[in-house]
A and B are shown apart, each in its own frame.
Chain A
Amino acid sequence: MNPAMVRITVNGEPREFPDGLSLLGLLERFALDPRAVVVELNRAIVRRAELEQTPVRTGDQVEVVHFVGGG
């Protein structure tokens, strides 16, 4: 039997993860250092300290951004 999954959008792309995943867990899945990125959940910024306690739920829109070259 398949474990329950959550369907979310990360940086504009649909993704599926096992239920119960936190935002910190999401970053770990992409091998991202939480100190090097900023996370937005449904348009609201989630502080680094809160990433671990914040679960992702089906329908969530997640944005993960960082600094790139610019003028």
Chain B
Amino acid sequence: MSLASVRDTPLTIAGRTFRSRLIVGTGKYRDNATMVAAHDASGADMITVAVRRVDLDRTKEAGILHHIDPTRYFLLANTAGCYTADDAIRYARLAREAGFNEFIKLEVIGDQQTLLPDVAELLTATQVLVKEGFTVLAYTNEDLVTALRLEDAGCAAVMPLASPIGSGLGLLNPYAIRTIKHRLSVPIIVDAGVGTASDACVTMEQGVDGILMNTAIAEAADAVAMAQAMRQAVEAGRLAFLAGRMPRREVAVPSSPVTGLLT
């Protein structure tokens, strides 16, 4: 923020500082050129990637590093697709071995239809990975007690959902997100569920430290334009939070003088 009246500190996770509070994904883009342009427009400096088997017969070249410059973007590998702590730990170790960093977006899914997290497995995996020196950013639901347990277990950031992954339903429970932000000391990144720029703005207005999104940009009719809209929305929401909104009132209060009216 460049306004003299508003001071902000950059997003810092486990001692590493990021310029942008927006973290973007690399999945589901129409094509790689669109993804590259959208990343650029988003202003993000951290992007997520997934770990999968190489297609040995090369029917398709799925490797993402052909299209992403790892010197420009900080790679945040995820454990998407894992349903047990053991699986997530295995994926995290593979991701770290790729040699970029020790950050892991830890995701342990508990239900196929909603993709909601299995918090018991998530906590188990967190404990193991923290012990192994990982910087764990845990994708979780918007439950305060789970968030507290994750912080206790050593998560570097806690990432509650706005709504289910890929749903685009926006921020369903702002109260829960605010509560988590108030009670935890580690950065809170809202991860999943944002559908459009207003969702991102309202989410940032809750005071959270950042937003992670993929589908809202990748599946927009114009992904590059949406990426820029998200960048502006995250900045606007952050600035509005820092500015401090007016109180909500159940009654109208005139904006113009009530004196000096003609009789």
Interface residues of A, Cβ cutoff 8 Å to B: 10-13, 30-32, 36-38, 40, 43, 45, 47, 63-71
Least Cβ–Cβ distance between B229 and chain A, in angstroms:
18
* A10 nearest CB neighbor, chain B only: B56
The answer to whether the Cβ of B116 comes within 8 Å of any Cβ in the partner chain is no
Interface of B is mostly: mixed
Nearest chain B CB to A66 CB, angstrom units:
5
Q: Which residue in chain B gives the minimum CB-CB distance to A45?
A: B97
* Bound form: Cα–Cα A40–B63 in Å: 18
Contact of B80 among A12, A43, A64, A71 (CB under 8 A): A71
Task: Please report B residues at the A interface, Cβ cutoff 8 Å.
Answer: 25-29, 35, 48-54, 56, 58, 62-65, 75, 77-78, 80, 90, 93-95, 97-98, 165-166, 192, 212-215
Q: Which 8 A-B pairs give the minimum distances between C-beta atoms?
A: A70-B50, A71-B214, A71-B25, A69-B26, A67-B49, A69-B27, A38-B97, A11-B53
The number of A-B residue pairs with CB atoms under 8 Å apart is 93
Q: Which chain B residues lie closer than 8 Å to A38 at the CB level?
A: 51, 94-95, 97-98
Closest to A31 in B: B58
Q: List 5 A-B contacts (CB under 8 A).
A: A66-B64, A69-B35, A69-B62, A70-B26, A71-B213
- Chain B contacts for A68, CB-based, 8 A: 26, 49-52, 62-64
Q: Are A40 and B94 in contact (CB under 8 A)?
A: yes
Question: Which residues on the B side are within 8 Å of A63 (C-beta)?
Answer: 53
Interfacial chain A residues near B94, Cβ < 8 Å: 38, 40, 45, 65
